[in-house]
Structure 1
Amino acid sequence: MKNDMNLDITRRHFFGRSSTGLGTMALASLLNPNLLSGDQPANPAVAGKFPNFAPKAKRVIYLLQSGAPSQVDLLDYKPSLEKLHLTDLPDSVRGGQRLTGMTAGQKTFPVVKSPWAFRQHGQSGTWMSDLFPHLSKVVDDICVVKSMHTEAINHDPAITFFQSGHQQPGRPSIGAWLSYGLGSETENLPAFVVLLTKNTFHQAQPLYDRLWGSGFLPSQYQGVKFRSQGDPVLYLNDPTNRDAAARRGMLDRLEKLNQLRFQQTGDPEINARIAQYEMAYRMQTSVPELADFSDEPESTFELYGDEAKQPGSHAANCLMARRMAERGVRFIQVFHRGWDHHSNVNKYLPNLCRETDQGSAALIADLKQRGMLEDTLVVWAGEFGRTVYAQGRPETFGRDHHPRCFSIWMAGGGVKPGISYGQTDDFCYNVVENPVHVHDFHATMLHCMGIDHEKLTHRFQGRDYRLTDVHGHVVKDILV
């Protein structure tokens, strides 16, 4: 009988299912508690190779502002725009650079200064918009990079590039690469978790699961998305209401049955089934405890604000990120949508800043007071920037996509605090000093985690791939 079942697995069947079967077998190995210890990388193929040197950061919290925040109005102060306001952007500044279809037909490109004041803050004297009253209080802990640039000019290829180092879908995300190289520090939670903030903006770019996918890496390295409403993960509650001992006994007996079936058929998906049951069992305990904020003192909510009590808000996700970091999650990514302002910047940008400012600043302060900021790399970024010229009428103006220069900030995890890096021209249109490409940004993130970006590779279809492809330089000037 056993031989008859083996004959059912034909050559076509084997090759047709290998891509998922091998991935799920790897998933089973990931869920093996012995392989999930902090001392073992998740992937045996890179065991002992990473980190390449002593890391400054143990984990990353990445706050991604989907839609592209306007650097002109938030982080890159340009007093020169006071005199240039409503003048036409010179052709010599644009330099024949391509435009999106939304402004390519404009006959004029009126420069519009920021409607909001900028002030210097902290001992560092960092310039910051009044739209960031909370972030301005922690400027001495962050590094503002004003000279970011990318090739992508539209949202989907740009955010895909920021997530995976390539504009076309199909490559592993940065969180997947880190999980692949470094493994997990906890056996009860995934190494890579994604949090999506509730969308309150009427127009927001879609977020696809592939943005935190594993691409051609084994599937266990993809991000696990936590929901913003209801249980963070589906089916956490046991519908039978049986006690833990009964559930454990049931799973043990079920595993024996599945093992017998695997011996009969050799179907690798059975191992994945076993592993999924085990992960579900552990997460039934770990996730409710993680998501229960009742053990947080009132001082926490004074720091993060009352919105931290509302699941799915940016503040609640920042607090959740801190709790995950405490429990050993390697890479935590918080997505906040709605930063795509092609019109009515005056109306929409303040709302987005109010939603995110306090939670982001509180995360920095909270990690610092717990002694965790020094080994936690925090990143705030969008996929590109915004034009200095107006899209539409100046009185209800928007700002178009601008890949030539934009600003991000980083904190902790080996990054110099209280500095600004890079410069743009008087029009905030071109980088004129210390350019930082997306590949450089990725190489620097990996360096903070103790990884030489040229050595973290995976062979796929006869070629060695890496996050930075054949590019990227570590920006050593911003590192301690």
Structure 2
Amino acid sequence: MDMPISRREMLRNSACGFGYLALAGLAAERAAAAPLNPLAPRIPHFAPRAKRMIFLFMQGGVSQVDSFDYKPSLEKNDGKSLAFDDARVLANTGKRGSQQSVMKPLWKFAQHGQSGRWASELFPEINVHVDDLCFIHSMHTEGVAHGPATLFLHCGATNVVRPSMGSWVLYGLGSENENLPGFVSIGPSAGNGGARNYGNAFLPAMYQGTALGRAGASAEQATIRNLGNAVLSPADQRRQFGLLRELNAEQLGRSPGDSEVEAIIASYELGWRMQNNAPGVLDTKGESQETLDLYGIGQSATDNFGRQCLMARRLCESGVRFIQVTYGDSTANPAWDQHSNMPQHAVHAKNVDRPIAGLLADLKRRGLLDDTLVWWGSEFGRTPYAQGKGTGRDHNPDGFTVWLAGAGVKPGFAFGATDELGHMAVEDRVHMHDLHATILHLLGLNHEQLTYRYSGRNFRLTDVHGRVVEEILV
């Protein structure tokens, strides 16, 4: 029969155990006070086709019937007065089915590439890449004015404050590079939603986008300010940052779970790491002349947007998860918003055509297009009937075109259709909620599972709507 263990023997044999418990307690306290990394990469819901994406936002509404949606009936009916029934007509005239004058395309269409996709001469250099593009011709959305429609495109809602798509992606997947922001918006507009279009809303603050520059400003201003310190030496900066870390850890220990405190600490940590990494990523001086020429850098029309697109490629290559590049000018006059001067479309097209074509070519030759999704589009399209004494086109949220390229989408493919005049989406209709669901799917996220609980309910980018457009997927 075993003798019971004495108290002295028990204490002697358990000493290491008590020491371990004490050490574990100290480690837990230190872990609780240590800076968090909420942007660390996360496991997606399923295997993604795309690791990251670039959104080329054409602010104001590119005319689909003048670019990628070929409608021979517009030529036949040019100048005829036909009845059009849409929300914009009702808002302008107070009548349904009022007569409007049909307006033919201002640019000639032709078939391009081995796929034979129809496209106009408005974008000659993008047309060279049609065999890499997947067109959706049956888009429709919410909002007949720029503000609501732009918010809906970015946030999935026309009026209430919701997180932007980039914030949802960063929340769902984290960042691939801890030394750079995971979500960057290049040249965002101050109008039509402004910062809400790259904001985090009720998601934790660390998921908001980082703005580089602003719409209409020089691309040279599209940088992160105060990255360098001309006053302190690197050694002094390290000592200063070490003290700041200790203070932050103490503050976090007093406010565990405070998302704003966590976001501030994370931003300080990221800012410190960016000092040694971001300047090199944002500096394009090391690029070859051939690459600069590819983007149209150095040419008056294309220099600015070319620099923004090249910056997008460099950020993409460096592991930034979501990059948006906005082509726009002033708040009062979104770039593509030609109500009375449709020929102005040609000016804007010339500014973006070579840079976008160069971006596609550069991504492809570097192997980045295999796991990068590119999305090109506007908040809505434009009407097939004339406005402004026959010289412009009105907003059209009822039928327009976007295209995708890269990881997971069918190249040289066209899906859906508008009616014979290019007015209403009628075949295989794709709502903006559906496009959002599809993009999230390509990134490995189930749009129904990517939720955040706020104010007593679960929210998601697609609200209670949206379907994945399986037909365009490889």
* Superposed pair shares fold, TM > 0.5: yes
In the TM superposition, residue 392 of structure 1 has moved relative to its aligned partner by 1.8
Other-structure match for 2:361 = 365
User: Cα deviation per residue 1:77-135 (whole Å; 9 max; x = unaligned)?
Assistant: 11111110000123xxx346453645658974100001110111100011111010110
- How do residues 83-122 of structure 1 correspond to structure 2 at under 5 angstroms? 83-90=76-83, 94-95=84-85, 97-99=87-89, 101-102=91-92, 108-122=99-113
Q: Is the 8 A contact 1:28 1:272 kept in 2?
A: no
Distance in 2, matches of 1:314 and 1:376, equals 20
1:69 has 2:62 as partner: yes
User: Which shows bigger deviation, 94-103 or 63-72?
Assistant: 94-103
Other-structure match for 1:127 = 118
Number of equivalent positions: 430
Q: TM-score, normalised by structure 1?
A: 0.84
Other-structure match for 1:82 = 75
SS in 2 for 1:314: helix
1:251 has 2:241 as partner: yes
Other-structure match for 1:344 = 341
Other-structure match for 1:319 = 310
In the TM superposition, residue 430 of structure 1 has moved relative to its aligned partner by 1.5
Q: Which AA in structure 2 matches 1:253?
A: L
Q: Which AA in structure 1 matches 2:148?
A: P
Distance in 2, matches of 1:476 and 1:136, equals 25
In the TM superposition, residue 235 of structure 1 has moved relative to its aligned partner by 1.2
User: Cα deviation per residue 1:274-325 (whole Å; 9 max; x = unaligned)?
Assistant: 4433222211222210111122111111211125899982211111111011
In the TM superposition, residue 254 of structure 1 has moved relative to its aligned partner by 3.1
Identity %: 45
- How do residues 38-77 of structure 1 correspond to structure 2 at under 5 angstroms? 40-41=41-42, 50-77=43-70
Distance in 1, matches of 2:248 and 2:46, equals 42
Distance in 1, matches of 2:68 and 2:150, equals 20
In the TM superposition, residue 413 of structure 1 has moved relative to its aligned partner by 1.4
What's the RMSD between the two structures over aligned residues?
A: 2.6
In the TM superposition, residue 266 of structure 1 has moved relative to its aligned partner by 8.2
1:411 has 2:405 as partner: yes
1:221 aligned residue (202, 207, 212): 207
Distance in 1, matches of 2:435 and 2:137, equals 12
Q: Which AA in structure 1 matches 2:470?
A: K
Distance 1:66 1:471, change over 3 A: same
1:450 aligned residue (428, 444, 448): 444
1:382 aligned residue (378, 382, 391): 378
User: Cα deviation per residue 1:163-183 (whole Å; 9 max; x = unaligned)?
Assistant: 111111411111111111111
SS in 2 for 1:407: strand
In the TM superposition, residue 273 of structure 1 has moved relative to its aligned partner by 4.8
Other-structure match for 1:46 = none
Distance 1:140 1:270, change over 3 A: closer
1:167 has 2:158 as partner: yes
SS in 2 for 1:246: helix
Distance in 2, matches of 1:141 and 1:189, equals 29
Distance in 2, matches of 1:57 and 1:261, equals 38
SS in 2 for 1:123: coil
Q: Is the 8 A contact 1:191 1:331 kept in 2?
A: yes
User: Which shows bigger deviation, 292-301 or 100-109?
Assistant: 100-109
1:434 has 2:434 as partner: no
In the TM superposition, residue 53 of structure 1 has moved relative to its aligned partner by 1.4
Other-structure match for 2:22 = none
Q: Which AA in structure 2 matches 1:383?
A: E
User: Which shows bigger deviation, 121-130 or 226-235?
Assistant: 226-235
Q: Which AA in structure 1 matches 2:163?
A: P
SS in 2 for 1:306: coil
Structure 1 residue runs of 5 or longer lacking an equivalent are: 1-24, 42-49
Q: TM-score, normalised by structure 2?
A: 0.85
Structure 2 residue runs of 5 or longer lacking an equivalent are: 1-31, 214-218, 329-334
SS in 2 for 1:335: strand
Distance 1:274 1:405, change over 3 A: closer
1:149 has 2:149 as partner: no
Distance 1:148 1:102, change over 3 A: same
Q: Which AA in structure 1 matches 2:321?
A: R
User: Which shows bigger deviation, 102-111 or 81-90?
Assistant: 102-111
1:288 has 2:275 as partner: no
Distance in 2, matches of 1:107 and 1:434, equals 27
2:180 aligned residue (182, 189, 193): 189
Other-structure match for 1:400 = 394
Q: Which AA in structure 2 matches 1:315?
A: G
Q: Which AA in structure 1 matches 2:388?
A: G
Distance in 2, matches of 1:317 and 1:226, equals 10
Q: Is the 8 A contact 1:447 1:474 kept in 2?
A: yes
Distance 1:311 1:87, change over 3 A: closer
SS in 1 for 2:50: coil
Q: Which AA in structure 1 matches 2:36?
A: S
